[in-house]
C-alpha cells in the first residue's frame, strides 16, 4: 500500500509529531510512504520527504492554483513511490493556511483518489480571517461549484479523521455520514524510563510544586492559575514557557506583575528561566495543572499520568468525555469554578462581552443583534455568580484583587478540588488505561484499519458538507470564551 501524507510544513512538534507517530505506526507493514511538505523535517522521519514549494502558506491564489497544487502533489508522490498513491492523507486541509488546498483535494478526488482528511483545527472555531480568505479563494477558483461545494467534500473513498467526539458531532451535523467518519485520537508516547532515572528533582525544600506545562498564551487562562495560588497557598504553582507571539506578551507580563504585587507563589516560564530540564521539572512536581479554556486533543489530561503525576485543574468535557469513556479518572479536575458577580465590574464586563460576541459574528459575516448577545450573557451570569473562565483578563484581575470572602461568598466553594485527591490511588489505573487506549499499538490498529477500509472502497462522490452548519455549531453562544476572542 502506497501512502502520501500531506502537510504544509514539517516544523518541530504539533502535526509533525502526529505524522512521525503515524509513520512509526505503519512500520513494519509492507508498502511505502512519502511525506509531502514545503519544508524539510527538523526531526528524523522513517520515510522520504518530497519538497513541494506550492504547499507553503498562502493567503491568496490564482484561479488555477488548486489545479496546479494537485498536479505538483501527484508529480512528487509518483516520483517517490513509482506509482500513484493508494491513499492520500491530508492534515488540516480546510484551515485556510493555504487557500489552494481545498481545490487541490477536489481535483484529486475527481481523479479517483482515496483521501483521509484529518482535522486538528477548524477555521470556523475562532479563526475568522482564515475562514474569510478561504471563502474568497473558493469563490474565485476554477474548480466547478461554490464555496459550500468545495471546502468539505464527501462520498465513498473519503474519510474524515477527528481527534474527539465533539468534532465528530459537528461534522455529522453538517451532513457527514457516520461511515465516512473515523475517531483517530493522537497517540501518547511513554516517557523514557532511562531519561527519567537520570534526572534529579529540583527545588528541594520548597512548597510542593504544581506545574503547568504550557506556553502561557491567552486561552491557557493564566488568571485562573493565579486564583488557584491564592486559594491553595500550601502549593507553589508555575508555568514552563512564555508566549512566542509578541501579541500575547503584554497580557502575559501583566499577569507576572500582578502575581508579584499579590505576593503569590507563582513561577513563570521555568523552562526558560532555570537550567532545569523538562523531565527535572516534572519530577519535582507534586502534580500537573491545566486551566485552559480550549484544546484540540487534550494531551495535557493524559501525558502527566504517564510521568506518574496526577492532573488537577479545569476539565473540558467536550475533550475529556472520550478519556472518561476509556476509564480515565480525574478526581482533581472541575468543570466550573463560580465567583461572585460582586467581585468585579459586572456592567463593564457585560458591555465587553456584547461587543466581543457581535464582533465575532461580524468577522464571520453573520448578523447578530444586541438582544441576542445580551441573552447569551444572561445565560452565563445567573444566580449572582459566573464561571471564572467566562471572564476576560480585566475582570479576572479585578477578582484577584478582592478578599476571598468577597470572591466566594457562601455557598460558593473557594476550593474547587480536594488536595488529597492528588495522592496516588488512581495513578497506576490511569496509566494502564492510557497505554491501552492511546498508546502506539492502539493507534496503529486504528490507522491500519482506516487505510484498509479506504483501499477496499470504490470512490464515489457524494453531497458536500455544509460549512454554514459547521459555523453555526462553533458560533453557538455557549461556546464563546472572551479569552479566545
Task: Give the pLDDT confidence of 156-190 residue by residue, as tens digits.
Answer: 999 999 999 899 999 999 999 999 999 999 988 76
Report the pLDDT value the prediction gives residue 206, as an integer from 0 to 100. Answer: 80
Q: Which long-range contacts (CB under 8 A, 24 or more apart) does 189-198 make?
A: 189/21, 189/306, 189/439, 189/440, 190/306, 190/435, 190/439, 191/279, 191/306, 191/307, 195/279, 196/279, 196/283, 196/307
Sheet with 209-215, side-by-side order of all strands: 266-267, 236-241, 209-215, 285-290, 311-314, 332-334
Share above pLDDT 90 across residues of the chain, in percent, rounded to a whole number: 81
DSSP 231-244: H-TTSEEEEEE--S
Query: Average pLDDT for residues 242-261, to the nearest whole number?
Result: 95
- In CATH terms, 2-185+439-467 corresponds, of 3.40.50.2020, 3.40.50.300, 3.40.50.720, 3.40.50.2000, to 3.40.50.2000
**Domain ranges (residues) in the chain:** 2-185+439-467, 188-337+413-438
- Residue 30, pLDDT above cutoff 70: no
Q: Radius of gyration over alpha carbons of the chain, in Å? A: 24
Q: Which of 467, 474, 366 is nearest to 150 (CA)?
A: 467
Q: For a pLDDT cut of 70, what percent of the chain falls above it?
A: 96
| Contact of 53 with 78, CB cutoff 8 Å | no
Banded model confidence at residue 398, pLDDT cuts 50, 70, 90: very high
Domains 2-185+439-467 and 188-337+413-438 share a fold: yes
Instruction: Look at residue 195 in the predicted model and tell me its pLDDT.
Output: 46
Q: What is the pTM of this model?
A: 0.92
3-state secondary structure of 168: helix
User: 412 near 227, Cβ under 8 Å?
Assistant: no
Q: What is the pLDDT of residue 194?
A: 41
Mean pLDDT across the chain: 92
Average pLDDT over residues 62-67: 96
Which CATH number applies to 188-337+413-438?
3.40.50.2000
Q: Does 208 score more than 50 pLDDT?
A: yes
- Per-residue pLDDT of 402-459, as tens digits, reads 999 999 999 999 999 999 998 867 899 999 999 999 998 999 999 999 999 999 999 9
Residue 277's pLDDT band, with cuts at 50, 70 and 90, is confident
Report residue 191's pLDDT band, with 50, 70 and 90 as the boundaries.
low
Amino acid at each position: 500500500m502506497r501512502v502520501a501524507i500531506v502537510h504544509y510544513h514539517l516544523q518541530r512538534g504539533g502535526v509533525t509529531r502526529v505524522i512521525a507517530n503515524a509513520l512509526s505506526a505503519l512500520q513494519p507493514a509492507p508498502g511505502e510512504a512519502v511525506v509531502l511538505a514545503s519544508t524539510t523535517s527538523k526531526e528524523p522521519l522513517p520515510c522520504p520527504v518530497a519538497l513541494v514549494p506550492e504547499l507553503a502558506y498562502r493567503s491568496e491564489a490564482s484561479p488555477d492554483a488548486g489545479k496546479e497544487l494537485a498536479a505538483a502533489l501527484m508529480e512528487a508522490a509518483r516520483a517517490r513511490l513509482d506509482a500513484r498513491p493508494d491513499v492520500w492523507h491530508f492534515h488540516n486541509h480546510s484551515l485556510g493556511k493555504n487557500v489552494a488546498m481545498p481545490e487541490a483535494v477536489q481535483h484529486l478526488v475527481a481523479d479517483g483518489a482515496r483521501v483521509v482528511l484529518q482535522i486538528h483545527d477548524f477555521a470556523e472555531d475562532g479563526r475568522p480571517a482564515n475562514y474569510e480568505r478561504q471563502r474568497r479563494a473558493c469563490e474565485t477558483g476554477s474548480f466547478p461549484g461554490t464555496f459550500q461545494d468545495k471546502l468539505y467534500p464527501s462520498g465513498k473513498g473519503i474519510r474524515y479523521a477527528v481527534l474527539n467526539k465533539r468534532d465528530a458531532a459537528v461534522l455529522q451535523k453538517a451532513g457527514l455520514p457516520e461511515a465516512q467518519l473515523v475517531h483517530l485520537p493522537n497517540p501518547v508516547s511513554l516517557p523514557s524510563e532511562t531519561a527519567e532515572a537520570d534526572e534529579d528533582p529540583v527545588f528541594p525544600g520548597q512548597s510542593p510544586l504544581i506545574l503547568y506545562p504550557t506556553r502561557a498564551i491567552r486561552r491557557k487562562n493564566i488568571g485562573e492559575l493565579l486564583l488557584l495560588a491564592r486559594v491553595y497557598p500550601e502549593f507553589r504553582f508555575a508555568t514552563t514557557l512564555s508566549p512566542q507571539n509578541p501579541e500575547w506578551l503584554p497580557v502575559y507580563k501583566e499577569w507576572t506583575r500582578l502575581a508579584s504585587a499579590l505576593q503569590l507563589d507563582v513561577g513563570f516560564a521555568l523552562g526558560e528561566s532555570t537550567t532545569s530540564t523538562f523531565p527535572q521539572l516534572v519530577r519535582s512536581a507534586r502534580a500537573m495543572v491545566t486551566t485552559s479554556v480550549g484544546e484540540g486533543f487534550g494531551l495535557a489530561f493524559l501525558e502527566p499520568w504517564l510521568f506518574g503525576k496526577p492532573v488537577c485543574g479545569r476539565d473540558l468535557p467536550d475533550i475529556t468525555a472520550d478519556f472518561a469513556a476509556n476509564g480515565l479518572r480525574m478526581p482533581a479536575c472541575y468543570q466550573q469554578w463560580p465567583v461572585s458577580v460582586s467581585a468585579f465590574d459586572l456592567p463593564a464586563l457585560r458591555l465587553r462581552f456584547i461587543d466581543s460576541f457581535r464582533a465575532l459574528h461580524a468577522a464571520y459575516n453573520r448578523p447578530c443583534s444586541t438582544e441576542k448577545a445580551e441573552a447569551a450573557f444572561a445565560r452565563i451570569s445567573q444566580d449572582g455568580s459566573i464561571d471564572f473562565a467566562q471572564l476576560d483578563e480585566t475582570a479576572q484581575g479585578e477578582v484577584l484583587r478582592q478578599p476571598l470572602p468577597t470572591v466566594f461568598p457562601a455557598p460558593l466553594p473557594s476550593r474547587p478540588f480536594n488536595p488529597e485527591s492528588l495522592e496516588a490511588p488512581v495513578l497506576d489505573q490511569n496509566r494502564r488505561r492510557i497505554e491501552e487506549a492511546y498508546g502506539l499499538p492502539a493507534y496503529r490498529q486504528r490507522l491500519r484499519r482506516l487505510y484498509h477500509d479506504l483501499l477496499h472502497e470504490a470512490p464515489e462522490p457524494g453531497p458536500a458538507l455544509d460549512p454554514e452548519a459547521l459555523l453555526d455549531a462553533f458560533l453557538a453562544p455557549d461556546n464563546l470564551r472572551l479569552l479566545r476572542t
